[in-house]
Structure 1
Amino acid sequence: MTRLGLCSVTFRRLPAAEVARRAADAGLEVVEWGADVHAPPEEPGTVRAARDASERYGLTCCSYGSYFRATPDESAGFPVVARAAVLLGAPRVRVWAGTVGSRDATPQERRGTVTRLREAARVAADHGLELALEFHAKTLTDSVASTLRLLDEVGADNLRTYWQPPLDTPDEEALAGLAELGDRVGAVHVFSWWPGNRRLRLADREDLWTGVFDLLNRRRVRLDALVEFVPGDDPAVLAGEAATLRRAAARRAAPPA
């Protein structure tokens, strides 16, 4: 049930058509187009080019990787993001939960982020879109507990979260967090970093990704697992990374000892 794909930010330096070609050649099915380079919301012509690249190479656009962070000066800008997502053909928009970590955010800052995300979810619903929160440090989704709380606080049916392995978190702990998020996960960003942000090949943490797919496949709902960043930003490694991803998706995790 899990579709395998690529985040276009993995290869920011390549034109959209080349990103799509390499994803298709690697046997991937879907693509998340990033708003920073390949599909800026204020450039409809560039957005159309990304959409056309998807279609030319038989890829489905699964999401729009926006950089809307629900900050006070961005509130009025989300409708532009939503329109770009529709033009792109993306059913989902990735958004960010502010710019302050959950432990550092004041109650007022948290309430403001909640209010702006709630309004963004309303606008998204008007455009037939879902939203998903980037699961990331220095935002209100920097922990599983804060993410679940935030989803409850916003209270929007069309809002879920992404998941990715937190930095320097052992496999068992990372998988426990994913399990706790449960059906509130809409997509997964795939990479193998260890320690810190040292980029490894997926095969170096294949047991982690086998465990991830084991959890996701039990849910029997469609999800997207998207390669995001590779060692050296090297397009030549994508085919091998995609093969590892398919292998992990097909394996079953070993039972605990």
Structure 2
Amino acid sequence: MKTGICSITFRPMNVGQVADLVKTAGLDAIEWGGDVHVRPGDLTAARVARRTTVDAGLEVSSYGSYFRVLDKEGRAEAFQPVLDSTLALETNTVRIWAGYSASAEVSEDVRSRFAEQAQRVAEMAAASGVNIGFEFHDHSLTDTNESAAKLLQEIDAPNVYLYWQPMYQGPDMDYRMAGLHDLKDRILNFHVFHWEYDGSKELWIDAVDRRPLSEGQAEWKQYFSVELPPRERYALLEFVRDDDPKRFLEDAETLKAWLEGTVK
């Protein structure tokens, strides 16, 4: 398991600043985000990010896009610009999202159309040697263990995987661990953070409390204890307390210690 960061953790920073910070942290890689640092189809930005990453002695783990297969009106979104940026970054992984709506709100007809279009996207990616990783996230077709597993079956493509992260909004550890075990053959990378969530708050920004990663040691030791099929994968830090680079450096030390086995 290699280590890295999602560049969206520090959206206000430029590409060089992000790379310098990750180098200082002693991590391995950067997932470049598609909303600020490397917008879809901006191949110049992608090539600059790639060169800056390599010059810092780092790897590009993946392209963190916000492609969702179908738009809110159910029309196919354009994947080619996303794929072009992935290839310009010289990575073989692109992260995408499983739609805009919670799985419980999506009809079987819409699911079927989503899976059909996702199959086309997977074929385009496979032709270029690219793997797809769906974000395991609320308000999407991967918002539960069951819906995520069903979606993978519906798409049925060998280059389609999941990014895994803990669902902080409610499911308990037993549910999270069950999902990890059930989905382990299709887990590509991890998004790593430790948040506490207060469901009584009306606004999401008020409900989420980003905590130091070290406070999540008991949970993450269990997550990382699950034996996954051998392949190159990344544990990517995503967001930190107060968006503070110093907090990030602390979290990076925590993550490295966990994966190196120096914390018992």
Letter in 2 for 1:147: A
Structure 1: runs of 5+ lacking an equivalent:
none
Letter in 1 for 2:12: R
2:191 corresponds to which residue?
A: 189
Kindly report which structure 2 residues correspond to 1:35-74, keeping only aligned pairs within 5 A, or say none.
Answer: 35-72=34-71
Equivalent residue pairs, number: 252
TM-score by length of 2: 0.90
Cα deviation for residue 66 of structure 1 reads 0.7
Preserved contact between residue 214 and residue 252 of structure 1 (Cα < 8 Å): no
Letter in 1 for 2:147: S
2:219 corresponds to which residue?
A: 208
SS in 1 for 2:105: coil
1:236 corresponds to which residue?
A: 246
Kindly report which structure 2 residues correspond to 1:159-174, keeping only aligned pairs within 5 A, or say none.
Answer: 159-167=160-168, 168-174=170-176
SS in 2 for 1:77: coil
Superposed CA deviations along residues 16-44 of structure 1, whole A, max 9, x for unmatched, are 11111111110100111000001001222
**Structure-2 separation of matches of 1:76 and 1:3:** 31
**1:4 matched to 2:3:** yes
1:248 corresponds to which residue?
A: 258
Kindly report which structure 2 residues correspond to 1:101-112, keeping only aligned pairs within 5 A, or say none.
Answer: 101-112=102-113
- CA 91–16 in structure 1, closer or farther in 2 if over 3 Å, else same: same
2:201 corresponds to which residue?
A: none
Cα deviation for residue 53 of structure 1 reads 1.4
Preserved contact between residue 41 and residue 84 of structure 2 (Cα < 8 Å): no
Superposed CA deviations along residues 146-183 of structure 1, whole A, max 9, x for unmatched, are 11110010011100001100013333432222122111
**Structure-1 separation of matches of 2:151 and 2:75:** 19
2:92 corresponds to which residue?
A: 91
Q: Which runs of 4+ in 1 moved over 6 A?
A: none
Preserved contact between residue 210 and residue 253 of structure 1 (Cα < 8 Å): no
Letter in 2 for 1:3: K
Cα deviation for residue 221 of structure 1 reads 3.1
**Structure-2 separation of matches of 1:229 and 1:183:** 26
Kindly report which structure 2 residues correspond to 1:24-43, keeping only aligned pairs within 5 A, or say none.
Answer: 24-43=23-42
Cα deviation for residue 209 of structure 1 reads 1.3
**Structure-1 separation of matches of 2:60 and 2:75:** 25
Preserved contact between residue 61 and residue 90 of structure 1 (Cα < 8 Å): yes
- CA 252–213 in structure 1, closer or farther in 2 if over 3 Å, else same: farther
TM-score by length of 1: 0.93
SS in 2 for 1:139: coil
Cα deviation for residue 214 of structure 1 reads 1.5
**Structure-1 separation of matches of 2:174 and 2:140:** 23
Of 184-193 and 171-180, more deviation after overlay is shown by 171-180
Cα deviation for residue 74 of structure 1 reads 6.2
**Structure-2 separation of matches of 1:9 and 1:150:** 26
Letter in 2 for 1:130: N
**Structure-2 separation of matches of 1:62 and 1:164:** 17
Preserved contact between residue 145 and residue 179 of structure 2 (Cα < 8 Å): yes
- CA 232–152 in structure 1, closer or farther in 2 if over 3 Å, else same: same
The answer to which structure, 1 or 2, has the higher relative contact order (CA under 8 A, 6+ apart) is 1
Preserved contact between residue 240 and residue 248 of structure 2 (Cα < 8 Å): yes
Structure 2: runs of 5+ lacking an equivalent:
199-207
Letter in 2 for 1:131: I
